[in-house]
Structure 1
C-alpha cells in the first residue's frame, strides 16, 4: 500500500506543477521520466547498498573531521564560555561554518571548484534536456550558495531571459550551500543530508521542466563565468572568513527571531483557541505529509514541522525535528529529514531577489515578480524528494 501512496504522491506533485505551467504543450516528459528513474536509483544506491553506505560514511567522516578542526578555532576564542557538558548551538553548529567557508574559498582560488562545477554541469545537461547554463547553475548553487552563485554569472546576467531566470532561481532555492551542510549533519542523520543534496539537484530540473518549459537555442547557450578579482591568497582567506562569520551571525539572528516568534504565536493561539498555531499548520500540511508516505497517525505532527520550515527556515524545523518530543518512526524521520534539506522558505525569496537586484536591478525586479511561484516550485521539489525516499525506506 505504501508504494501505491508514494507513486500517487509523485503523480500529485507532477499535476500540481502542471497546473501552474507557463506552456503545457512544451513539456518534455522523456527527460522528466529519466530523471525520476535516476532519483530512485540513486536513493537505492545511497540508502540500501553497501557501497552507498561507504560513500555516505566517508562524506560524514570528512565533515566530522572538518568540524573538529573548526572547533579548535572556536574553543580558542570562546573556550570557557559554556559549562562542562553543554554545547551552545551558536558555538558548536554555526561558527564552524566559517572554516567550511574558508575551504570553499581555497578551492575557488585554486580553480578546482569552477572546473568541477563546469564538468558536472556539462554531464547534467546531457540528461536533463536543458542548457549548460542551467546545469552549471544548479551545481554552483550547491557549492557556493543561493545568492553567491549569481555573482559567478554576472557577465551575462543582463542577457538571460525571464524564463531562464526562473529556472536559475528555482535551482538556487531548491538546493543548499555546501558551507552549511556540516551544520545540518549535527541535527539530522548525514545519510539523509547527502541523499537530499543529490535528489534536489535532479528534482529542481524535473519541476522546472514542468512549470517553466522552454527551448534553448545553441547560440544562446553560452556560459560566461565571472572571474573573481585578483587577490592574494591571504586576502581571499580573510574575505571568506568574514563571509562565513556573516552567514553564522545571520542564521543565528534569524533563529533567535523566528523561534521566539513561533513560541509567542503558539502561546497566543493556545490561550485563545486551546490549540497551538503549529498544530493548525500541521493539520493544513497533513495531506501533503500523507502523500509523502508518512502514516496518518504521524501526519499532523510531521505537517507542523514542514510548515515551520516553509514559514521560518530549515534550521528551525531541524531543531524541532531533532529536539522535539515527536516519537516519529525511523521511516518518517528519514522522509522529513530529506524534505527539510533545502532553502525553500519565504525568506529565500528576499535573499535571492536581493542578490540578483544587487547585480542587475532589472533582473532583480523580474525575480521579485515570480517570487511566490518560485517558492511553490521549490517546495514541490522538497516534497518530491521526500516521496522518492519513501519508496526506498
Structure 2
C-alpha cells in the first residue's frame, strides 16, 4: 500500500509543480528522470543500508563532538545559569551555532569549502542539465546560508535574468545552512536531517526544472565567485563568531515571538471556535501529509506541524513535533524530513532583503515572485518527505 501512496504522492507533487510551470512545453524530462532515480537510490542508501547507517552515524557523531566542544565555551560564559541537570534551549541548542559558524569561517579561509563547493557544483551541473551558477549556488546555500550565498556571487547579481534568479532563490530556500544543522540534530533524529539535506539538494533542481524550465547557453554559463575582501585570520574569526551569534540571537527572538503568537492565536481560536488554530491548519494540510505516506489517522496532527513550519519556521515546528508523543516512528520520520528546509513565509523577506541589499532592482524582482518561490520550495520538502516514506 505504501508504494501506491508514494507513487500518488510523486504524481501530486509533479502535478502541482506542472500547474504553475512557466513553460510547460520546454520541460526537459531526461534530467528530471535521472534526478528522481538518484533521489530514490540515495534515500534507500541513507535509510535502509548499513553504509547509510554508518555514514549518518559518522556525521552525527562529528556534530555531537562539535556540540560538546561548543559546550565548553558556553559553560565558561553561562555556567551556573542553568539548574543542575536542566538544559535551556537557548544554551544547549542555539549557542553552539556560534562555534560551528567559526569552524565554517576557518574552512572558508583555508580554501577547503570553496574548493568542495565549486567542484561538487560542476559535477551536479552535468547531472541536472542546469548551469554552473545554479549548481554552485545550491551547494553553497547549504554551507553559507540562504542570504549569505548571494554575497559570493554579487558581481553577477545585476546580470542574472529573472528565470535564473528564481532557480537561485529556490535553491536557497529549499536547503538549510550547515551552521544550524547541529541545532536540528538536537531536536530530531540525525538520520532524518542528513537524509533531508541530500534529498533537498536534488529536489530543488527537480521542482525548479518543472516550474521554471530553461536551458543555459555555454556563453551565458559563467561562474564568477566573489572571494570578498582579504582579511587576516583573526579578523575573519571575529566576523564569523559574531555572525554565528547574530544567527543564534535572531532564531531565539523569532522563536520567542512566534511561539507566543501561536499560543495566543490557539487560545483565541479554542475559546471562540472550540478548535485551536494549529488543529484547523492540520485539517487543511492533512491530505498533503497523507500523500507523503502518513497514515490517515495521524494526518491531521502531521498536517498541523507542517503548517506550523510554513507560517512560522522549522524550529517552532520541531518543538511542536516533540509534543506529539503518540505519533508512530514512521510518521515522525516523514514529518522530520519535511521540516528540514527554510521554506516558510519569513524566508521570502530574508532572501528578497539579502538580494535587495546587493541590487535593489533584483531584490524587487525576487519579492514579486516570493509566493511562487515558497510554493516551489514547499513542494521540494513534500517530495523529499514522500521519498522518505517509501523507505520507512
TM (norm. structure 1) is: 0.99
Tell me the CA shift for residue 2 of structure 1.
1.2
* Structure 2 counterparts to residues 1-393 of structure 1, below 5 A: 1-322=1-322, 324-393=323-392
Deviations 1:127-181 (A, max 9, x none): 1010110000000000110000000001111110000000000000000000000
How far, CA to CA, are the matches of 1:40 and 1:134 in structure 2?
A: 22
For the Cα contact (< 8 Å) 1:6–1:291, is it kept in 2?
yes
How far, CA to CA, are the matches of 1:367 and 1:277 in structure 2?
A: 30
Provide the secondary structure at the position in 2 that maps to 1:159. coil
Tell me the CA shift for residue 30 of structure 1.
1.1
Tell me the CA shift for residue 326 of structure 1.
3.9
For the Cα contact (< 8 Å) 1:98–1:241, is it kept in 2?
yes
Tell me the CA shift for residue 102 of structure 1.
0.4
Question: Would you say how many aligned residue pairs link Structure 1 and Structure 2?
Answer: 392
Deviations 1:274-326 (A, max 9, x none): 1000000000000000000000000000000000000000000001112x034
For the Cα contact (< 8 Å) 1:309–1:340, is it kept in 2?
yes
How far, CA to CA, are the matches of 2:189 and 2:246 in structure 1?
A: 26
How far, CA to CA, are the matches of 2:228 and 2:182 in structure 1?
A: 26
TM (norm. structure 2) is: 0.99
Provide the secondary structure at the position in 1 that maps to 2:105. helix
- Structure 2 unaligned spans of 5+: none
For the Cα contact (< 8 Å) 1:71–1:92, is it kept in 2?
yes
Tell me the CA shift for residue 33 of structure 1.
1.1
For the Cα contact (< 8 Å) 1:301–1:326, is it kept in 2?
no
How far, CA to CA, are the matches of 1:125 and 1:30 in structure 2?
A: 14
How far, CA to CA, are the matches of 1:151 and 1:270 in structure 2?
A: 45
For the Cα contact (< 8 Å) 1:283–1:304, is it kept in 2?
yes
How far, CA to CA, are the matches of 1:31 and 1:22 in structure 2?
A: 18
How far, CA to CA, are the matches of 1:80 and 1:207 in structure 2?
A: 49
For the Cα contact (< 8 Å) 1:13–1:380, is it kept in 2?
yes
- Structure 1 unaligned spans of 5+: none
